[in-house]
Structure 1
Amino acid sequence: MFAKPQDMFDRDAEWAALARFAADERPGATLGVVSGRRRQGKTFLLDALCKESGGFFFEATEAADPESLMRIGAELGQYTGAAFPPRPADWHEVVDGLLRLGEERPVTVVIDEFPYLAKASPSLPSVIQAAFGPRRDERLRSRTRLLLCGSAMSFMGRLLSGTAPLRGRAGLEMVVRTLDYRQAAEFWGVRDPRLAALLYAVVGGTPAYRDGAAGGRAPGSEAEFGQWVIEHVLDRFSPLFREARYLLAEEPDIRDNALYHSVLAAVAEGNATRGGIAGYLERKSTDISHHLSVLEDAGLLVRDVDAFRPGRSVYRMREPLIVFHHAVMRPEWSRLERQGRAEQVWQDSQRRFLGSVMGPRFEQICRDWAQDYAPSDLFASPVAHVGHGVVNDPERRTSHEIDIVVSGNDAAGRRILLGLGEAKWQEPLGLGHLERLKRVRELLIAAGHPGAESAKLLCFGAAEPSAQLRSLAAEGEVTVIGLDELYAPRA
């Protein structure tokens, strides 16, 4: 096993999995696929693995096939110490050359930005499939540990799926995800929970945004947060100013950028259902099915199934910076880009920021807490899933939207309800919120929903709750979770 570099933040699980893959002494070349959106640290991770294990690292660029063949041949020659750099005629020769690297010992080989090569040479996945044939002598004699890496999520997701040539060939499939809300706070060095939540709602958990775009500096306090956003996100000369547009443009399956941006804008405006998005765009639902699927494959949208009505689902944007772009920046793009009025736009956008950015992101932080950080004794059984749901109330002719629905499994493997939660960023929580949760629990009990009788009631709030709610929490009638609890270290 290889020691993780001291300057690498977190990524313990990813490093351990990659180190096991690279150090495997068994005969036979193996293949792995590593993906993740740009600026999550994939290249840093894999480059460190190659340096630690003495492997070969090749970073592809957007280039014609002959140039890429010449480059990888030259770098292979340099790696092996050949007197003359090899000039491979095609990718068959390259892949066979990579297999020969591992004839004496396990050798890590990384091809970064693999989609660039496959775009110029669409047959390349099939070439690798043939080279990694289960009975091929060259593969059996080799202990090359080949890792294909890419940022085009839709392309990388299809690499091992369905009838793709490499399906069944990979021994490792890894998605390098963004840091979660707690990891992001630690990475940025922010100890104030409220400031950490505000910062996460804008830049999320993408590591490169700290050192590359923000100059390694987080706002020092909540009072400095607005000016920090003006300087590092809204300023037209800031690297983050056009970042949301670049994230969309990087996906090869996205060709009509304008329509995809409109779909994301619809979601940012609160149109979360397929029909709502189609109505916002004045199109039929069938007209946007493909666009929604592409955005899901790219990791920009996620579809959440209603916990109480499996046939109903809503869409939400996964990347906070894209939410911020569509809620705050896109409606004011002319003022920001042409006139440079970042300070004025920020002042005018406070209502949109709090309602369309901060509120939904806080709800997701609360769901993440329930899924990953809630005390083990809070619920009756381990948490299996956390989502949202809508419960109809026929007697009162209304419906109740529940921000946090916590579910688990009983001894027979049946899904049971563990908790119901309300999340508010601005509004102080009080008895009215608790009464609504009680009413929903009564409706679910009457409907015979498994586990409803013992489901915990949870109130998540960034503001100080009412004294009455605190009193009921002390009596065990409700669990109140504030920012301190959301960001408290795990016991």
Structure 2
Amino acid sequence: MIMLRKFIDRDEERAYLNREYLSESFSFSVIYGRRRVGKTELISNFLKDKPNIYFLADKRGTKPNLFRLRKKAAEFFNDFEPNLETFDEVFEYIKTKWNKRQKLVIVIDEFSYLAQMDDSIPSVFQLIVDEILKAGLFHLILCGSSVSMMEKSTLSHSSPLYGRRTGQMQVKPILFRHIRKFFPEQPLHEIVNIYGAAGGVPFYLLFFDPNKSYYENLQNVFFAKEAVMYAEGEFLLREELKEPATFMNILYAISKGAARPGEIASKS
């Protein structure tokens, strides 16, 4: 399978990030959107010409992530890894070390993993914003794929981080008019077919081989049991929902021909 890698569209999103970066005071962006929509690629493109500490959180727990971030920060400053035991100590270390007259971008990608595993994380980052970063030349970006968790932990009125951000952005699938740039040689009807199957999700579009027919691509990308997309629906439901079984049963009923609410209920 050919997987083409392209960065297309996102002009408005890049312009927003650059405005935040070029502001003369501390900036704090919350970036969220469904998985595979291109958030990390957007951030990577934005970071190309800027000093940055990029950290991708994982699900191993608070302490392992803390120690990995500590190591990342020390590597950025070409320093020995300091003995720091809390996130606020790590950010205090970064603040102390950064003495240049331009902004340092600090990205915590998949912040939702941290917040999901530790309820205190939003409060910890409130302290980091208010008492450590706010007076310095920093652009903090918290990014996450679990839309519900990002809204709960960073955007909702109940979050300790509410009111701290200087901007937020939900990264959405790209528009139909930009799909042609992925497949410049394809006729319009083929692009309509591809869009019908993959929507505007860049990760999905990258799996379509322009040298094969639409139906060959469907077989290779969606219906082959070893293909990434074969289990994508179930994976997304498990990522976003605590109890996905009910929704899986509803989708199964629809796949078997149920169309009316009563039919769906009786078959699920």
Structure 1 and Structure 2 fold alike (TM over 0.5):
yes
Q: How does 1:198-347 map to 2 (within 5 A)?
A: 198-211=193-206, 213-214=207-208, 217-218=209-210, 220=212, 224-251=213-240, 254-265=241-252, 271=259, 277=261, 280-282=264-266
Q: How does 1:389-428 map to 2 (within 5 A)?
A: none
Tell me, yes or no, if the aligned pair for 1:57 and 1:110 is still in contact at 8 Å: yes
Change (3 A) 1:176 1:101: farther
Tell me, yes or no, if the aligned pair for 1:219 and 1:228 is still in contact at 8 Å: no
Q: How does 1:312-391 map to 2 (within 5 A)?
A: none
Q: How does 1:71-90 map to 2 (within 5 A)?
A: 71-82=68-79, 84-90=80-86
The two structures have a TM-score, normalised by structure 1, of: 0.49
What does residue 110 of structure 1 align with?
Answer: 107
Tell me, yes or no, if the aligned pair for 2:37 and 2:201 is still in contact at 8 Å: yes
The offset of 1:17, in angstroms, is: 0.6
The offset of 1:90, in angstroms, is: 1.2
User: Which letter does structure 1 place at the counterpart of 2:215?
Assistant: G
Task: Provide the rounded CA distance (Å) in 1 between the counterparts of 2:235 and 2:183.
Answer: 23
When the two chains are superposed, the root-mean-square deviation of aligned CA atoms in Å is 2.4
Change (3 A) 1:166 1:101: farther
Change (3 A) 1:171 1:270: farther
Task: Provide the rounded CA distance (Å) in 2 between the counterparts of 1:131 and 1:226.
Answer: 52
What does residue 318 of structure 1 align with?
Answer: none
Tell me, yes or no, if the aligned pair for 2:176 and 2:195 is still in contact at 8 Å: yes
User: Which letter does structure 2 place at the counterpart of 1:236?
Assistant: K
Tell me, yes or no, if the aligned pair for 1:74 and 1:85 is still in contact at 8 Å: yes
**Cα offsets for 1:46-86 (capped at 9, x unmatched):** 1232231121111111112221111111110000111x112
User: Which letter does structure 1 place at the counterpart of 2:230?
Assistant: F
SS of the residue corresponding to residue 115 of structure 1 reads helix
Change (3 A) 1:77 1:102: closer
Q: How does 1:117-136 map to 2 (within 5 A)?
A: 117-133=114-130, 136=131
The offset of 1:265, in angstroms, is: 4.9
Task: Provide the rounded CA distance (Å) in 2 between the counterparts of 1:123 and 1:66.
Answer: 13
SS of the residue corresponding to residue 148 of structure 1 reads strand
What does residue 3 of structure 2 align with?
Answer: none
SS of the residue corresponding to residue 52 of structure 1 reads coil
The offset of 1:103, in angstroms, is: 4.9
What does residue 45 of structure 1 align with?
Answer: 42
Change (3 A) 1:146 1:86: same
**Cα offsets for 1:420-458 (capped at 9, x unmatched):** xxxxxxxxxxxxxxxxxxxxxxxxxxxxxxxxxxxxxxx
Task: Provide the rounded CA distance (Å) in 2 between the counterparts of 1:147 and 1:203.
Answer: 28
The two structures have a TM-score, normalised by structure 2, of: 0.87
Identity percentage of aligned residues: 27
**Cα offsets for 1:391-425 (capped at 9, x unmatched):** xxxxxxxxxxxxxxxxxxxxxxxxxxxxxxxxxxx
Change (3 A) 1:38 1:245: same
Task: Provide the rounded CA distance (Å) in 2 between the counterparts of 1:277 and 1:73.
Answer: 52
Change (3 A) 1:168 1:72: same
The answer for unaligned runs of 5 or more in structure 2 is: 1-5
The answer for unaligned runs of 5 or more in structure 1 is: 1-6, 284-491
SS of the residue corresponding to residue 58 of structure 1 reads strand
What does residue 336 of structure 1 align with?
Answer: none
What does residue 141 of structure 1 align with?
Answer: 135
Tell me, yes or no, if the aligned pair for 2:258 and 2:264 is still in contact at 8 Å: no
User: Which letter does structure 1 place at the counterpart of 2:217?
Assistant: W
Tell me, yes or no, if the aligned pair for 1:98 and 1:144 is still in contact at 8 Å: no
Change (3 A) 1:193 1:74: same
User: Which letter does structure 1 place at the counterpart of 2:103?
Assistant: P
Q: Does 1:25 align with 2:24?
A: yes
SS of the residue corresponding to residue 230 of structure 2 reads coil
What does residue 164 of structure 1 align with?
Answer: 159
Of Structure 1 and Structure 2, the greater strand share is in 1
What does residue 351 of structure 1 align with?
Answer: none
The offset of 1:267, in angstroms, is: 6.5
Larger radius of gyration: 1
Change (3 A) 1:69 1:17: same
Give the one of 176, 192, 198 matched to 1:197: 192
The offset of 1:140, in angstroms, is: 4.5
Q: Does 1:94 align with 2:70?
A: no
Task: Provide the rounded CA distance (Å) in 2 between the counterparts of 1:193 and 1:281.
Answer: 39
The offset of 1:112, in angstroms, is: 0.6
Tell me, yes or no, if the aligned pair for 1:58 and 1:110 is still in contact at 8 Å: yes
SS of the residue corresponding to residue 32 of structure 1 reads strand
Task: Provide the rounded CA distance (Å) in 2 between the counterparts of 1:117 and 1:131.
Answer: 15
The offset of 1:202, in angstroms, is: 0.9
SS of the residue corresponding to residue 241 of structure 1 reads helix
